[in-house]
Amino acid sequence: MKWKMLLSASSLSQHFRSLLRSCSVTSSLHPGKQLHAAATVSGLLSFPNYFLLNALLHLYASCSSLPYAHYLFDQIPQSHKDTVDYTTFIKCLSRQGYPQKALNLFAEMRQRGLSIDGVSMVCVLNACARLGDVKVGEQCHAGVVKIGLLKCVRVCNALMDMYVKCGGLVGEVKKVFDEMEDPSVVSWTVVLEGVVKWEGVENGRVLFDRMPERNEVAWTVMLVGYVGNGLTKEAFMLLQQMVFSCGFGLNYVTLSSVLSACAQSGDVSMGRWVHGYGLKMMGWDMDVMVGTSLVDMYAKCGRIDAALAVFNNTSRRNVVTWNAILGGLAMHGKGKAVVDMFPCMVEEVKPDAMTFMALLSACSHSGLVEKGLQFFKELESVYGIRPEIEHYGCMVDLLGRAGQLEEAEAVVRKMPIPPNEFVLGSLIGSCYTHGKLQLGERIMTELVHMDPLNTEYHILLSNMYVLSGKVDEANSFRQILKKRGIKKVPGMSSIYVDGKLHQFSAGDKSHSQTAEIYIMLNDMIRRLRFSGYVPNTSSQVLFGCSGRDDCTEEALEEVEQVLFSHSEKLALSFGLISTVSGSPLYIFKNLRICQDCHSAMKIASDIYNREIVVRDRYRFHSFKQGSCSCSDYW
DNA sequence: GGCTCCCGTT
């Protein structure tokens, strides 16, 4: 009788495990939880059943439910945890954003003398890839060789992926690949990603065409490569081939990957196509990641109204979606909208650390000092979020921009984490804006220790010396910069016209329409001057003129010429001659827009009757009828 | 007996 009961219990357990497996495969958390409850009630879990526990652990890991997975992992007695249990939880930690914890757990597993198999090695290599830790990755490589796992295709794939993600050691990737007896389509795809990322999209295409077989991932990698490099036409051609000739459907991972690339490169035409595709296939009930990527894409492409429309129509929203829209509004200087929307967010989802970055930067960009201080206070006391260095950075920025330099410095001195170069960099920026030379000098000393090769801060301080009449100090600074050979990151501006990205550097003459662009530029400067534009040479005197130390009239003229051929103005001139009159222009700049270009854009938006949207490294400026959305508050 | 690789939102 007892034997019969045991037998039925064992078959019941098998039944449960097979049901749990199907929940894991489909990431069905709710039915899985019900099974968990049923297993508990039936008494199956009241005596040790390690396979069932592992199936439950796997369920929660597959459903990205870290707290439950952690609970299950702890439920398994230490003496009975085997390689499979560890592997399941290591993968879960790595995927949920804790790759370091995953590696720590692997170390624990090894200390306990448990064997390493191909599967656990794949998971550990994956954690190294996510962490970007090539050192541990190389140790694993040695382990792979030692255990004889090089014949295992998936291990090799994970190994190559680790080298791709950890700084692009494409040589290592190819070495592993060449030794493989029978590389799979995944192996080829990993190499493809490495080549696209580190050897350029053209080289990637050569490899793509040579691949014996291509899956949707390979197509996605290639697409993202094109979009990320501004090659919209090529991307559309590839997409057409993928969907219409080869019959691939686009899944949600492909859609969000492509959208993320669109957001980065500012390619709204491809972004819109993906939006249309998503609507046709899924309607508004689309995947939460796709919806979020859409919101982010529209916001980062300067279409904040479209971002809001998508946000309001999406039926699935999580904290990331909210963060995307609040961050987008913040970048567009719509601080009040952010403050007004926050209470609605709290009703719907729990805000996280990232939310407060968006909130504080919104206050910072809109000069809402009181509101920002209040948010910062509530961050810990109401929402239980421990402030991170980025939050302190936002506070320093908020107070500094508003001219409250003493308060900003007090934040730096009192913060429990040592300030990094971004925090101090923001402070020195505010010192420049508000002419606080002495504080600037002090901060500079600290910054030089932290980041001796940074040019931006050196230039800022040197400019401050000039503005306060200390030309000698400025000159000595310039000498230091010259001696050390510190080079400025070149400013680049780009603009999409007819699905093609056109890039300009300062004084660029490489564009095929250079002659027309410069004719337009000269005409524009003339009209700008006529409307009251005065070149702002004050901050350029120092580093603009190619190493001249004098400030004669000719030097000044030279400085003006440098100003006029700033990359933003070239992109604007090109945009004006190559688009329909009255249509808005969207320009992307890799650094902060300069003061002079900012004034020029304001007037240009009026005299040419165009909306000009400029995305710089930090935020958006929308110029319309002579004024800017930032209200000149940077 | 189970745990696995490539593209994935702020």
Q: State which nucleotides on strand B lie below 7 Å from a protein beta carbon.
A: 1-10
A633: which residues sit within 8 A by CB, 6+ positions away? A333, A365, A366, A367, A401
- Tell me the per-residue pLDDT of A13-69, one tens digit each, with 9 for 90 and over: 777 777 877 777 777 777 877 777 777 777 777 777 778 878 877 888 888 788 888
Beta-sheet strand order (sheet of A612-615): A500-505, A492-497, A585-589, A612-615, A620-624, A627-628
Q: What is the pLDDT of residue A315?
A: 87
- Considering only residues 82-111 of chain A, list those whose CB is below 7 Å from strand B: 82-85, 87-88, 91
Residue A505, strand partner residues: A492
pLDDT computed for residue A356 by the predictor: 97
What's the distance, Cα to Cα, between the start and end of chain A in Å? 81
> What's the sign of the alpha-carbon dihedral A161, A166, A168, A171?
negative
Residue A306's contacts (CB-CB under 8 Å, 6 or more residues apart) are A298
Band (pLDDT 50/70/90 cuts) for residue A2 is low
What tokens appear for A620 in the block?
């958006």
CA of A598 to C1' of B7 (A): 39
Distance CA A382, CA A375 (A): 9
Protein-nucleic contacts, chain A 568-627 to strand B, CB < 7 Å: none
**Inter-residue contact A386 to A419 (CB < 8 Å):** no
What token pair was written down for A338? 């952010």
Residue nearest to nucleotide B4 (CA to C1'): A119
Closest C1' nucleotide to A193's CA? B6
Closest among A546, A582, A573, A572 to A561, alpha carbons compared: A546
Q: Is A49 helix (H, G, I), strand (E, B) or coil?
A: coil
Residue A1 has pLDDT above 60, yes or no: no
Residues 154-173 of A, Cβ under 7 A from nucleic strand B: 154-155, 157-158, 161, 165
Strand partners, A492: A505
Average of per-residue pLDDT values in chain A? 89
Residue nearest to nucleotide B5 (CA to C1'): A154
Using a 7 Å CB cutoff, list residues 353-412 of A near strand B. Answer: 354-355
CB A132 within 8 A of CB A167: yes
CA distances, A399 to each of A336, A405, A443, A508, A510 (Å): 17, 7, 16, 38, 42
Q: What is the mean pLDDT of residues A451-478?
A: 76
Residue A265 approaches strand B within 7 Å at CB = no
The pLDDT of A496-510, averaged and rounded, is 92
Whole-angstrom distance, CA of residue A359 vs CA of residue A357: 6
Confidence of residue A546 (pLDDT cuts 50, 70, 90): very low
For residues A95 and A64, the answer to whether their CB atoms sit within 8 Å is yes
Say how far A546 CA is from B6 C1', in Å: 48
Compute CA distances A514 → A229, A401, A571, whole Å: 22, 38, 11
Point out the nucleotide closest to A85 (alpha carbon to C1′): B3
Report the distance separating Cα A362 and Cα A359, nearest Å.
Answer: 5
Residue A126, number of CB atoms within 10 A of its CB: 20
Pairing of β A612-615 and β A627-628: unpaired
Chain A span 109-128 residues with beta carbon within 7 Å of strand B? 117-120, 122-123, 126
Q: Say whether pLDDT at A545 is over 60.
A: no
3-state secondary structure A126-140: HHHHHHCCHHHHHHH
Radius of gyration for chain A, computed over Cα atoms and rounded to the nearest angstrom: 29
User: CA of A614: how far to CAs of A261, A305, A532, A584, A627, in Å?
Assistant: 19, 16, 22, 11, 13
pLDDT digits (tens, 9 = 90+) for A181-234: 999 999 999 999 999 999 999 999 999 999 999 999 999 999 999 999 999 999
Residue type, A435: G
Angle at alpha carbon of residue A476, lines to A472 and A478, rounded to 5°: 115
Residue of A475 and A270 predicted with greater confidence: A270
CA A307 to C1' B3 (Å) is: 41
In this predicted model, what pLDDT tens digit does every residue of A140-163 receive, in sequence order? 999 999 999 999 999 999 999 999
Q: How does pLDDT run across A74-125, given as a tens digit for each residue? A: 888 888 899 999 999 999 999 999 999 999 999 999 999 999 999 999 999 9
**Residues 224-263 (A) near nucleic chain B, CB < 7 A:** 224, 251, 253-254, 256-257, 260, 263
Measure A142 CA to B4 C1' (Å): 19
Q: State, as a whole number of angstroms, the distance between the CA of A289 and the C1' of B4.
A: 24
Interval A540-559 mean pLDDT: 57
**pLDDT reading at A540 higher than 80:** no
Q: What percent of chain A has pLDDT over 70?
A: 95
Stated in angstroms, how far is A125 CA from B5 C1'?
10
> Could you report the per-residue pLDDT of A380-423, keeping only the tens digit for each?
999 999 999 999 999 999 999 999 999 999 999 999 999 888 88
pLDDT at A552: 64
